[in-house]
Amino acid sequence: MESYLTLLVFFLIALTVALLVPNINLITNKFLKIDKANREKFEPYECGIPKINPIKGSYFAIFYVVALVFLLFDLETVFLFPWAVSFRKLGMLGIAEAFLFITILLVGFLYAIAKGALKWD
């Protein structure tokens, strides 16, 4: 647990920077009188092409399948985390097991690519 305290300090530094930078903008916005109630503020992309409301159909499905595939490979990371932190202790057998694990999951990844699930069209 103690080793994670360093991580917490790093996180707090990152959080401070992340909170400071947009707040500097907010202060300058007060002087520049930027309209916060503007409808554009609620758009996903403020400076993009105006969207045709509401977006539905396959557009949503593409986003959703990308997010789902990401979720599954995120879970793979969870299982590889213990392997990574005790890499030396596990030896050659550990490497072989982890590669078997990744190989099986790679089949799914190749399937997703073959089906064009990660293609933006």
Partner 1 sequence: MKEILFYLFGVISAVLALLSVTSKNVIKGGVALLGSFISLGAVYFTVGAEFVGIIQVIVYGGAIIVLYLFALLTMDVKKIAEEKVRGSSAAAGAFLSILLMILLLLEASKIAGKVKPAVSGAKELALPLFFKYLLPFEIVSILLLVATIGAVAIARREE
If the CB atoms of residues 29 and 83 are measured against partner 1, the closer one turns out to be: 83
114 to 14, 33, 40, 108: CA distances (angstroms): 39, 51, 38, 10
Of 60, 58, 62, 69, nearest in space to 111 by CA: 69
- φ/ψ (deg, to 5) at 114: -60, -35
How many chain residues touch partner 1 (CB under 8 A)? 55
**Relative orientation angle of helices 87-114 and 58-85, to the nearest 10 degrees:** 160
116 touching partner 1, by CB under 8 A: yes
76 touching partner 1, by CB under 8 A: yes
56 touching partner 1, by CB under 8 A: yes
Instruction: Return d(Cα 53, Cα 38) in angstroms, integer.
Output: 17
If the CB atoms of residues 10 and 64 are measured against partner 1, the closer one turns out to be: 64
Which residues contact partner 1 by CB under 8 A? 1, 4, 8, 39, 42-44, 53-56, 59-72, 74-79, 81-83, 85-86, 89-90, 93-94, 97-98, 100-102, 104-105, 107-109, 111-112, 115-117
